[in-house]
């Protein structure tokens, strides 16, 4: 009976691949994990996944493809990263409760698909800037977990030698970790300006939350980025809550992807890492040719705003439980991986167990590490010191010196600071074309009226 059902499923697919989203197939995988994974394992090297309902688009003539071709390496990679981030946050949470991490700590749990999906579509030369909920981003942008945990605990092994803490971690082409809500968005536009000027075709991803989405500086950044056609993808990580406020109570429109007139926008299911990957790939191509666009990734945060917030006074426990049960991004990708024969249930368990062991060992290492010495506090302030000593240090002007490896030098190579002809709009969007046409029409009318007035004037004798 099982074999017949499975065979029927295989022949149902025109490509001879598993239609992972059919209800019967999901049921088979759930009921007979061993048998189905054995069978699927012999088949899959590649699979096509249907993403028809994952997007909504605005002000776009084309939209992201409604399917994605995936292979074993890609899915395994993405899955491992998501599990690693989940475990990283579990360890950070425990370290906070043990008072090893102090101060702020904003967990990313529940939003793993957003950073792993977006990062999987970025090239190694692209740039990224985000807000304070940054641990997942730090990891995908190349900070090793020990550097993240060490930084949270303020220890020497931290990626900023313990001087930055939770919200201030940086890496090559990764500009943090920013604690001032929304401030990273204009900074992201600035990075985009530098990239446009550098003219190597690189892109900046600038992220912000639904709670930041109503700030004026967001719209100012949209405006200048659109005017100068900057290669920036503005990503609203809509996790449905600000610090303690549901999105509906803070925003007159919760359709964040539509709100950047005349910027185009894509809404994507932020719990589906593959849909996010597809949307980002589309946006990467778009922004290089046309200038900025918005992606709204609709996700959900499982914990409170920060460690001091239990996260249950403005939402019910049932809501969180339901989201975890029905929309968990790791479970969703796991289902795809297993049903397409890219991973088995046992392999998934091993990935999780390995991540847990690895991170717990790192936590122990962090606990044994020490803080930097007091004299080092004003070291590594600048990448390159242009002045004599560290500016604005109280009393004595401290000498600049380097201790940490800090970041490898990888500046954007600016050609000129002037917004010159290279910044001229390339593909002018429809709204601007229409507006320019109207301006021309008004000019014509004015000229015509002026001529008529001239003609009607009596000639001077």
DSSP 410-422: -----S-SS--GG
Options 210, 269, 272, 296; binder of Mg ion; rule CB under 5 A: 210
Would you say 236 or 293 has its CB closer to Mg ion? 236
The answer to whether 276 touches 113, Cβ cutoff 8 Å, is: yes
- Closest separation between CB of residue 111 and ligand TPP, Å? 8
- Closest separation between CB of residue 184 and Mg ion, Å? 14
Would you say 132 or 228 has its CB closer to ligand TPP? 132
Cα–Cα separations (whole angstroms), residue 424 to 197, 232, 433: 11, 16, 14
Report the 10 Å Cβ neighbour count for 315: 16
- Closest separation between CB of residue 250 and ligand TPP, Å? 8
Would you say 104 or 401 has its CB closer to Mg ion? 104
Would you say 239 or 278 has its CB closer to Mg ion? 239
- Closest separation between CB of residue 179 and ligand TPP, Å? 6
Angle at 328 between CA 247 and CA 13, to 5 degrees: 120
150 binds, among Mg ion, ligand TPP, none (CB under 5 to 8 A by kind): none
Would you say 25 or 300 has its CB closer to ligand TPP? 300
262 binds, among ligand TPP, Mg ion, none (CB under 5 to 8 A by kind): none
- Any contact of residue 209 with Mg ion (CB under 5 A)? yes
- Closest separation between CB of residue 133 and Mg ion, Å? 8
The verdict on whether omega for the bond into residue 412 sits within 30 degrees of 0, i.e. cis, is: no
Would you say 74 or 254 has its CB closer to ligand TPP? 254
- Closest separation between CB of residue 424 and ligand TPP, Å? 34
Q: Rounded to the nearest 10 degrees, what angle do helices 72-97 and 112-121 cross at?
A: 140
- Closest separation between CB of residue 242 and ligand TPP, Å? 4
Binding site for ligand TPP (CB under 6 A): 133, 179-181, 209-212, 239, 241-243, 305
Residue 173, helix vs strand vs coil:
coil
Q: How far apart are CA 270 and CA 267, in angstroms?
A: 9
Options 64, 150, 211, 291; binder of Mg ion; rule CB under 5 A: 211
Strand partners, 47: 70
- Closest separation between CB of residue 184 and ligand TPP, Å? 10
Would you say 241 or 303 has its CB closer to Mg ion? 241
Q: What is the DSSP letter of 458?
A: P
- Any contact of residue 110 with Mg ion (CB under 5 A)? no
DSSP 224-254: HHHHTT--EEEEEEE-SBSSS-BHHHH-S--
The answer to whether 151 touches 368, Cβ cutoff 8 Å, is: no
75 binds, among ligand TPP, Mg ion, none (CB under 5 to 8 A by kind): none
- Any contact of residue 182 with Mg ion (CB under 5 A)? no
Instruction: Return the range that interacts with Mg ion (CB under 5 A); candidates 8-16, 58-66, 130-138, 206-214.
Output: 206-214
Instruction: Return the range that interacts with Mg ion (CB under 5 A); candidates 165-173, 186-194, 239-247, 373-381.
Output: 239-247
179 binds, among ligand TPP, Mg ion, none (CB under 5 to 8 A by kind): ligand TPP
Start-end of H helices in 230-344: 247-250, 273-290, 317-327, 329-339
Please give the radius of gyration of the chain, using alpha carbons only, rounded to the nearest integer. 26
The answer to whether 277 touches 114, Cβ cutoff 8 Å, is: no
Would you say 26 or 246 has its CB closer to Mg ion? 246
Pairing of strands 232-238, 265-269: unpaired
Output the six-digit token pair for 264.
Answer: 């185009």
Residues near Mg ion, by CB under 5 A: 209-211, 239, 241
């Amino acid at each position: 009976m099982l074999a017949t059902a499975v065979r029927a499923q295989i022949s149902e697919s025109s490509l001879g691949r598993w239609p992972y989203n059919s209800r019967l197939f999901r049921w088979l995988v759930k009921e007979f994990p061993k048998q189905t994974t054995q069978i699927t394992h012999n088949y899959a090297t590649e699979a096509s996944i249907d993403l028809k309902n994952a997007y909504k688009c605005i002000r776009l003539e084309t939209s992201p493809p409604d399917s994605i071709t995936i292979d074993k390496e890609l899915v395994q990679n993405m899955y491992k990263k998501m599990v690693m981030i989940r475990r990283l946050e579990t360890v950070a949470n425990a370290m906070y409760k043990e008072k090893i991490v102090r101060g702020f700590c904003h967990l990313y749990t529940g939003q793993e698909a957003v950073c792993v999906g977006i990062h999987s579509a970025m090239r190694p030369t692209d740039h990224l800037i985000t807000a304070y909920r940054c641990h997942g981003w730090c990891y995908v942008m190349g900070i090793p977990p020990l550097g993240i945990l060490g930084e949270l605990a303020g220890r020497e092994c931290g990626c900023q030698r313990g001087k930055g803490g939770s919200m201030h971690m940086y890496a090559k082409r990764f500009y943090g970790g920013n604690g001032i809500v929304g401030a990273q968005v204009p900074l992201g536009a600035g990075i985009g300006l530098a990239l446009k000027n550098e003219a190597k075709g690189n892109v900046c991803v600038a992220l912000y939350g639904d709670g930041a989405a109503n700030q004026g500086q967001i719209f100012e950044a949209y405006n200048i980025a659109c005017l100068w056609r900057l290669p920036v993808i503005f990503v609203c990580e809509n996790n449905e809550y600000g610090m303690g406020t549901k999105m509906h109570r803070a925003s007159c429109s919760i359709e964040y992807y539509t709100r950047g007139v005349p910027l185009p926008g894509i809404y994507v299911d932020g719990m589906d890492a593959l849909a996010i990957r597809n949307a980002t790939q589309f946006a990467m191509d778009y922004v290089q040719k046309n200038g900025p666009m918005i992606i709204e990734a609709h996700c959900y945060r499982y914990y409170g705003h920060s460690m001091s917030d239990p996260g249950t006074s403005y939402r019910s426990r049932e809501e969180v439980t339901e989201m975890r049960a029905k929309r968990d991004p790791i479970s969703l990708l796991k289902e795809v991986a297993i049903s397409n024969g890219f991973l088995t249930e046992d392999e998934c368990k091993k990935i999780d167990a390995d991540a847990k062991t690895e991170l717990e060992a790192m936590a122990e290492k962090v606990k044994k590490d020490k803080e930097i010495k007091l004299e080092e506090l004003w070291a590594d302030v600048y990448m390159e010191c242009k002045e004599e000593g560290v500016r604005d240090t109280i009393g004595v002007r401290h000498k600049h010196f380097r201790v940490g490896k800090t970041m490898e030098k990888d500046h954007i190579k600016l050609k000129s600071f002037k917004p010159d002809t290279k910044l001229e709009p390339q593909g002018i969007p429809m709204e601007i074309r229409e507006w320019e046409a109207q301006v021309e029409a008004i000019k014509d009318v004015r000229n015509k009226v002026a001529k008529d007035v001239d003609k009607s004037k009596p000639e001077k004798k």
